[in-house]
Amino acid sequence: MATGKKQPIVQFKGIMKRFGKVVAVEKMDFDIEEGSLVTLLGPSGCGKTTLLRMVAGLEEPTEGDIFIKGVRINDTPIHKRNLGMIFQNYALFPHKTIFENVAFGLKYRDVPKEDVTQKVTRALEMVRLPGVENRMPSQLSGGQQQRIAMARAIVIEPDVLLMDEPLSALDENLREEMRREVDNLQQMLGVTTIFVTHDQREALSMSDKILVMKDGRKQQEGPPEVVYNEPTNHFVADFLGHSNFIKGEVVAVDDQHVDVRIETGDVLFAENKGGFSKGDAVEMIVRAQRFDAFPMEEFEPTEGLNHFEGRIKDRSYMGGEVSYFIELGNNREIHVISMMRTRIYNLGEAVSVQVAPHHCHLIALE
């Protein structure tokens, strides 16, 4: 991943796209730094692919401007934008050899023939598929075809690499392998990349910055750890990971903590990050992995941490971890994902649950 502050290479300024009366992308300002991998993340229909297609020149903005390297590109033809594009369905030419597929973008750039061979060979080596130049796409596996699509995109040495759900057609194991492949290749090349996905794991594991979208609007942008640990609203917290949403009221505030009385009557402490006052209605967000569950008879509370009691209502074994739903008072339950440290708790078993205040994130109740 990219490190350090760099100049933006792609800039969206007041960008908007409307299809008739439907607003696909609401007015948006957004910068992408040179050399970074930025993920547009959100559910189907949120506008992320439309945003990408506007960069590519496949859609025209209704309002606003897009800049690449400081140059407004709204009216620049697709073939003059110097962009590499990788799609979900690979978009390889089935009747052309691998060499011809990879070299396709060089045909329109007046590259000398001897340089074409050299560039294609190097691109295939970079995606770890040397020696397949004379094969046809049908002779390659899905993962290999995706690598060829990557080679075709990078062979032109693009200013920006655009990737629209490039891994979603692959099975889970191959998807994990290709995720690492894309990440490593992007770092090696240092090419600015815009990556579209609805998969939170892809976004969290690969990105320098994530832009979360919903209904054509930007919900939050920032580094993965910030978006995950400090969501700005309910949607972001719910879309990224397994979260508990606990409604409550602020009953006290000091320099370190915000005290929140929740629906069960318990008072939980959250780290004071500012912005809340006594009497505020809030939603406390706690990731399911942040809770620790202990057998009731063995539990000794740790000073300064939140703790309460409950019973195992439901559980799901997931290999290295177990997902529990734990019933508290007042018909309230919480979701806890616990690593397999000792044993699996039984249904109905009494447990104590503990969580640190800095894992309790507060947002204003919507």
Write out pLDDT tens, residues 18-61: 999 999 999 999 999 999 999 999 999 999 999 999 999 999 99
Structure tokens at 148: 């060829």
In the predicted model, what is the mean pLDDT of residues 306-325?
91
* Closest C-alpha to 148, from 123, 169, 119, 182: 123
Instruction: List, for residues 147-167, the tens digit of each pLDDT value.
Output: 999 999 999 999 999 999 988
More confident residue, 175 or 118: 118
CA atoms within 13 A on the CB side of 240: 32
Residue 259 CA to residue 262 CA, distance in Å, equals: 10
pTM: 0.90
In the predicted model, what is the mean pLDDT of residues 98-110?
90
Please provide the average confidence, as pLDDT, over all residues in the chain.
Answer: 91
Residue 129 CA to residue 173 CA, distance in Å, equals: 19
In the predicted model, what is the mean pLDDT of residues 181-203?
92
Q: Do 327 and 340 contact (CB within 8 A), yes or no?
A: no
Q: Decide if pLDDT at 334 tops 80.
A: yes
Instruction: List, for residues 53-89, the tens digit of each pLDDT value.
Output: 999 999 999 999 999 999 999 999 988 899 999 987 7
The whole-angstrom distance between residue 282's C-alpha and the CA centroid of its chain comes to 26
Which residue has 């730094």 as its token pair? 33
Q: Determine what percent of the chain is predicted with pLDDT higher than 70.
A: 98
Structure tokens at 202: 């892809």
Residue 283 CA to residue 362 CA, distance in Å, equals: 6
Tell me, what amino acid is at 233?
N
In the predicted model, what is the mean pLDDT of residues 132-146?
92
Residue 241 CA to residue 262 CA, distance in Å, equals: 22
Cβ-based neighbour number of residue 181 at 10 Å: 18
Q: Determine what percent of the chain is predicted with pLDDT higher than 90.
A: 74
Residue 168 CA to residue 118 CA, distance in Å, equals: 31
In the predicted model, what is the mean pLDDT of residues 224-248?
94
Residue 207's pLDDT band, with cuts at 50, 70 and 90, is: very high
Which residue has 């609805």 as its token pair? 198
Look at residue 168 in the predicted model and tell me its pLDDT: 82
In the predicted model, what is the mean pLDDT of residues 278-293?
94
* Closest C-alpha to 182, from 159, 153, 209: 153
Q: In what order do the strands lie in the sheet with 257-262?
A: 267-271, 257-262, 243-253, 281-287, 361-364
In the predicted model, what is the mean pLDDT of residues 91-113?
90
Q: Decide if pLDDT at 2 tops 60.
A: no
**Residue 88 DSSP code:** T
Look at residue 252 in the predicted model and tell me its pLDDT: 96
* Closest C-alpha to 25, from 16, 36, 14: 16
Q: Decide if pLDDT at 175 tops 90.
A: no
Look at residue 341 in the predicted model and tell me its pLDDT: 66
Residue 244 CA to residue 200 CA, distance in Å, equals: 17
The per-residue DSSP string of 270-330 comes to: EE--S---TT-EEEEEEEGGG-EEEEGGG--PPTTSEEEEEEEEEEEE-SSEEEEEEE-ST
* Closest C-alpha to 229, from 37, 360, 321: 360
Residue 229 CA to residue 190 CA, distance in Å, equals: 27
Q: Decide if pLDDT at 4 tops 60.
A: no
Domains of the chain are 8-238 (3.40.50.300), 245-364 (2.40.50.140)
Look at residue 176 in the predicted model and tell me its pLDDT: 85
Tell me, what amino acid is at 182?
V
Residue 353 CA to residue 33 CA, distance in Å, equals: 42
Residue 128 CA to residue 109 CA, distance in Å, equals: 25
